[in-house]
């Protein structure tokens, strides 16, 4: 499908070399940074992957709800490219994982039909020297914040990977007859309901499939995003994102939380 | 492009009005004559809790002119813009630093970074609060740090066994490549990665980050925290993209870097008012 450059660009190689010489960079805030250290991990560097992707065309039928497979494929492919490059950068640094991953989509004026997919996160390495890579031998990825990462480890779980499922769905327009028939009434609109339902289910199932490929026990922090990007109101991308986790042999060291009443306003 | 920029290192570079304002704030006979700070009361208290106190509000500003013809045509990096940006930042930081030194501070925290990138000039404005440990003597100028961390984060960083040393900045401006009409037409209906765009943007972003890293290495830092990466097309030139990365360079301050977090559950949020909106 893609003729992507397999190697990372030169500037990125140079940047990573500097990091290997001991300097760390991280977009974690101070408390996230201290918590990641506290959890026994050392931040190595800010890693990123990016791909500018041209999305193809697909004809939609005005009155028919359907998945637009070509667009779904594009969304998947572009994000995979960005994520893979981020993982490559992390591997280059000898990282065990990447925390605080953000996935963004940017549009530029000079590329109306193209979008930049970008993945950024902080590569971390366990300080005890034991590899924490995931079932596929790659650094784990996770969109959890430093705080969530610390809490997760304290409860004996380890992130395995940022998993996602996407589905671009075209929702049928309602015909004039249908619209007239329901004017002034309280009724469910079954075609809209069904279309949205199915699209969400598809996205979530795909996310779960990715999680089971990683041998995960579950997905935490899952969320569902809906975006129309630049396709008009009836074509929606449903994106399910979450962090797949597995149970480790570590004991649960999270102390019972203290309840507080804050006096702030 | 001014050839000879004013030497921003000495406090002699500060305008007369600034020097006057600072003279008022400087200690007279051991007592402090005045104190300005943009810290909130909470932040001031947090600073006191780690035995630091605000000294004064300090400002650094620099405007660098760039030829407005550089933005529209070309390929690769817009080096004039990258250099002007670097110089604007360096001068603004140096002036901020000079003001901090003038009030006998050990560092500047909570630096707000305001930038304006226009076709004809690049402007960098930094405002922060100069701080010092309570009743501490002056330290050598070179050890006065500048950091964009809030007073809160600064106190937390100290408590965690680290200290800030400098603000590291890197920027890179680049022309977006242009796509041949033939290729654009061929790819109209396909899902393809635009490899030349990808490589150009990837490169520019890496270059910005690498420059930030080099600044951190020059400051003998162990790492950079709270990195802000901004990017995007410039409003006045659709084919130019700017990438900037900045963060606070930190070094370990003590042998142990441990914090012992306490997990808490807030009992706030008790009221969830159910709001019945009139049905339209």
Q: How far is B177 from A29, CA to CA, in rounded Å? A: 34
In a domain, B111, yes or no: yes
Q: How far is B130 from B53, CA to CA, in rounded Å? A: 9
pLDDT(A161) > 60 = yes
Structural domain spans, chain A: 10-247
Q: How far is A117 from A49, CA to CA, in rounded Å? A: 8
What's the predicted TM-score (pTM) here? 0.82
Q: How far is B91 from B4, CA to CA, in rounded Å? A: 12
pLDDT in tens, B51-103: 999 999 999 999 999 988 888 777 888 999 999 999 999 999 999 999 999 99
Among A103, A108, A48, A55, smallest CA distance to A77 is for A55
**In B, which residues are within 8 Å of A56 by CB distance?**
188-192
Q: How far is B34 from B36, CA to CA, in rounded Å? A: 7
**pLDDT at residue B24, rounded to an integer:** 58
How far B152 CA lies from chain A's nearest CA (Å)? 9
Q: Do A52 and B201 touch (CB under 8 A)?
A: yes
Q: Return mean pLDDT, chain A.
A: 86
Give the burial string for B211-236 (b: 16+ CB within 10 Å, else e). bbbbbbeebebebbbbbebebebbee
Q: What is the CA radius of gyration of chain B?
A: 23
**In B, which residues are within 8 Å of A124 by CB distance?**
none
Which residue among B204, B225, B263 places its CB closest to the CB of A30?
Answer: B225
- In this prediction, residue B26 has a pLDDT band, given cuts at 50, 70 and 90, of low
**pLDDT at residue B153, rounded to an integer:** 92
Tokens of B275: 């709001």
In a domain, B280, yes or no: no
Any idea what the Cα angle at residue B120 is, between residues B117 and B125, rounded to 5°?
A: 40
Q: Is B230 on the interface with A (CB under 8 A)?
A: no
pLDDT(B7) > 70 = no
In a domain, B261, yes or no: no
Which residue segment(s) compose the domain that B227 sits in? Answer: 14-252
pLDDT in tens, B174-230: 888 877 777 777 777 788 888 888 888 888 888 999 999 999 999 999 999 999 988
**pLDDT at residue B3, rounded to an integer:** 39
pLDDT(A11) > 80 = no
Q: How far is B157 from B254, CA to CA, in rounded Å? A: 11
Q: Are A41 and A125 in contact (CB under 8 A)?
A: yes
In a domain, B22, yes or no: yes
Q: Do A258 and B262 touch (CB under 8 A)?
A: yes
pLDDT(A245) > 80 = yes
Which residue among B190, B206, B223 places its CB closest to the CB of A15?
Answer: B206
Tokens of A221: 């922090």
- In this prediction, residue B276 has a pLDDT band, given cuts at 50, 70 and 90, of very low
**In B, which residues are within 8 Å of A116 by CB distance?**
197-198, 201
Which of B172, B234, B261 should we substitute to test contact with A (largest number of A Cβ atoms within 10 Å)? B261
Which residue among A9, A38, A257 places its CB closest to the CB of B263?
Answer: A257
- In this prediction, residue A139 has a pLDDT band, given cuts at 50, 70 and 90, of very high
**pLDDT at residue B280, rounded to an integer:** 43
**pLDDT at residue A242, rounded to an integer:** 94
- CB interface of B with A, residues 236-275, below 8 Å: 238-239, 241, 247, 257-268
Tokens of B156: 């937390």
Residue A169: which H helix or E strand, with range? strand A157-170
Q: Do A38 and B258 touch (CB under 8 A)?
A: yes
Spatial CB neighbours of A72, under 8 Å, sequence gap ≥ 6: A166, A167, A168
Which of the four CATH numbers 3.30.530.20, 3.30.110.70, 1.10.443.10, 3.40.50.300 does domain A10-247 have? 3.30.110.70
Work out the burial of residue A214: count CB atoms within 10 Å of its CB; fewer than 13 is exposed, 13-18 middle, 19 or more buried.
buried
Q: Do B233 and A38 touch (CB under 8 A)?
A: no
**pLDDT at residue B196, rounded to an integer:** 82
pLDDT(A207) > 80 = yes
pLDDT(B6) > 60 = no
Q: How far is A226 from A97, CA to CA, in rounded Å? A: 28
Say how many CB pairs under 8 Å bridge A and B.
191
pLDDT(A99) > 50 = yes
Give the number of C-alpha atoms closer than 13 A to the C-alpha of residue B125, restricted to the C-beta side. Answer: 5
**pLDDT at residue B275, rounded to an integer:** 47
In a domain, B210, yes or no: yes
**pLDDT at residue B25, rounded to an integer:** 55
In a domain, B265, yes or no: no
Spatial CB neighbours of B108, under 8 Å, sequence gap ≥ 6: B58, B96, B97, B100, B128, B129, B130, B131, B144, B145, B146, B147
**pLDDT at residue B266, rounded to an integer:** 75
Work out the burial of residue A89: count CB atoms within 10 Å of its CB; fewer than 13 is exposed, 13-18 middle, 19 or more buried.
buried
Which residue among A5, A18, A113 places its CB closest to the CB of B199?
Answer: A5
pLDDT(A4) > 50 = no
Q: How far is B36 from B53, CA to CA, in rounded Å? A: 12
Q: Do B156 and A70 touch (CB under 8 A)?
A: no
**pLDDT at residue B269, rounded to an integer:** 60
Q: For residue B67, what is the domain's CATH number? A: 3.30.110.70
Tokens of A195: 């279309």
Q: Do B198 and A4 touch (CB under 8 A)?
A: yes
The ipTM, to two decimals, is 0.80
pLDDT in tens, A16-68: 777 667 789 998 999 899 999 989 999 999 999 989 888 887 777 777 888 88
pLDDT in tens, B117-151: 998 999 999 999 999 998 888 899 889 999 999 99
- CB interface of A with B, residues 59-98, below 8 Å: 70, 73-74, 77-78, 81, 85
In a domain, B275, yes or no: no
How far A26 CA lies from chain B's nearest CA (Å)? 5
| Total count of domains within chain B | 1
pLDDT(A210) > 80 = yes
Give the number of C-alpha atoms closer than 13 A to the C-alpha of residue B103, restricted to the C-beta side. Answer: 34
In a domain, B123, yes or no: yes
Q: How far is A92 from A16, CA to CA, in rounded Å? A: 8
**In A, which residues are within 8 Å of B226 by CB distance?**
26-30, 33
Q: How far is B90 from B102, CA to CA, in rounded Å? A: 18
How far A116 CA lies from chain B's nearest CA (Å)? 8
pLDDT(A218) > 80 = yes
pLDDT (mean) for B40-56: 89
pLDDT(B31) > 90 = no
Q: Do B205 and A50 touch (CB under 8 A)?
A: yes
Any idea what the Cα angle at residue A114 is, between residues A113 and A117, rounded to 5°?
A: 145
Q: How far is A235 from A226, CA to CA, in rounded Å? A: 10
**pLDDT at residue A56, rounded to an integer:** 81
Residue A141: which H helix or E strand, with range? strand A140-141
**pLDDT at residue A1, rounded to an integer:** 35
pLDDT (mean) for B38-51: 88
**pLDDT at residue B270, rounded to an integer:** 55
DSSP A138: S
How far A19 CA lies from chain B's nearest CA (Å)? 8
Q: Is A20 on the interface with B (CB under 8 A)?
A: no
- Give the highest mean pLDDT range of A225-234, B161-170, B194-203: B161-170
């Amino acid at each position: 499908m893609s003729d992507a450059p397999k190697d990372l660009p030169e500037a990125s190689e140079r940047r990573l070399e500097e990091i290997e010489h001991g300097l760390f960079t991280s977009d974690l805030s101070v408390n996230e940074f201290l918590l990641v250290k506290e959890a026994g991990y050392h931040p190595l560097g800010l890693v990123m992957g990016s791909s500018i992707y041209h999305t193809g065309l697909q004809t939609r039928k005005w009155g028919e709800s359907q998945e637009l497979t070509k667009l779904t494929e594009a969304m998947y492919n572009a994000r995979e490219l960005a994520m893979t490059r981020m993982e490559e950068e992390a591997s280059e640094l000898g990282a065990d994982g990447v925390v605080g991953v953000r996935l963004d989509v940017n549009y530029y004026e000079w590329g109306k039909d193209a979008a930049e997919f970008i993945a950024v996160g902080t590569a971390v390495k366990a300080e005890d020297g034991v590899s924490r890579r995931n079932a596929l031998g790659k650094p784990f990825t996770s969109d959890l914040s430093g705080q969530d990462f610390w809490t997760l480890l304290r409860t004996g779980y380890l992130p395995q990977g940022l998993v996602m499922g996407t589905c671009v769905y075209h929702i049928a327009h309602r015909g004039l007859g249908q619209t007239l028939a329901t004017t002034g009434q309280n009724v469910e609109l079954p075609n809209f309901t069904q279309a949205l339902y199915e699209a969400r289910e598809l996205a979530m199932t795909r996310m779960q499939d990715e999680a089971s490929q990683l041998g995960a026990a579950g997905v935490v922090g899952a969320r569902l995003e809906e975006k129309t990007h630049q396709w008009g109101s009836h074509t929606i991308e449903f994106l399910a994102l979450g962090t797949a986790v597995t149970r480790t042999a570590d004991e649960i060291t999270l102390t019972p939380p203290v309840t507080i009443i804050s006096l702030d306003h | 492009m001014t050839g000879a920029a004013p030497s921003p290192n000495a406090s002699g570079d500060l305008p007369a009005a600034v020097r006057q304002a600072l003279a008022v704030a400087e200690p007279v006979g051991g007592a402090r004559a005045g104190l300005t700070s943009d810290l909130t009361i909470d932040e001031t208290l947090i600073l006191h809790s780690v035995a630091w106190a605000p000294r004064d509000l300090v400002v650094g500003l620099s405007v660098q002119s760039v030829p407005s013809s550089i933005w529209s045509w070309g390929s690769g990096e817009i080096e004039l813009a990258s250099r002007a940006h670097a110089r604007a930042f360096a001068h603004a930081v140096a002036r901020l630093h000079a003001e901090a030194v003038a009030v006998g501070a050990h560092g500047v925290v909570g630096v707000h970074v305001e930038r304006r990138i226009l076709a004809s000039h690049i402007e960098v404005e930094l405002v922060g609060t100069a701080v010092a440990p309570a009743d501490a003597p002056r330290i050598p100028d070179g050890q006065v740090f500048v950091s964009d961390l809030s007073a809160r984060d600064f106190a937390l960083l100290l408590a965690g066994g680290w200290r800030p040393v400098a603000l590291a900045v890197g920027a890179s401006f680049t022309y977006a490549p242009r796509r041949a009409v033939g290729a654009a037409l061929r790819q109209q209906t396909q899902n393809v990665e635009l490899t030349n765009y990808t490589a150009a943007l990837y490169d520019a972003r890496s270059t910005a980050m690498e420059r930030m890293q080099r600044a951190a290495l020059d400051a003998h830092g162990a790492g950079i925290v709270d990195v802000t990466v901004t990017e995007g097309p410039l409003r006045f030139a659709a084919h130019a993209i700017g990438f900037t990365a900045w963060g606070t360079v930190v070094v370990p301050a003590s042998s142990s870097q441990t914090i012992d977090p306490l997990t808490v559950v807030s009992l706030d949020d008790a009221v969830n008012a159910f709001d019945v909106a009139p049905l339209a």
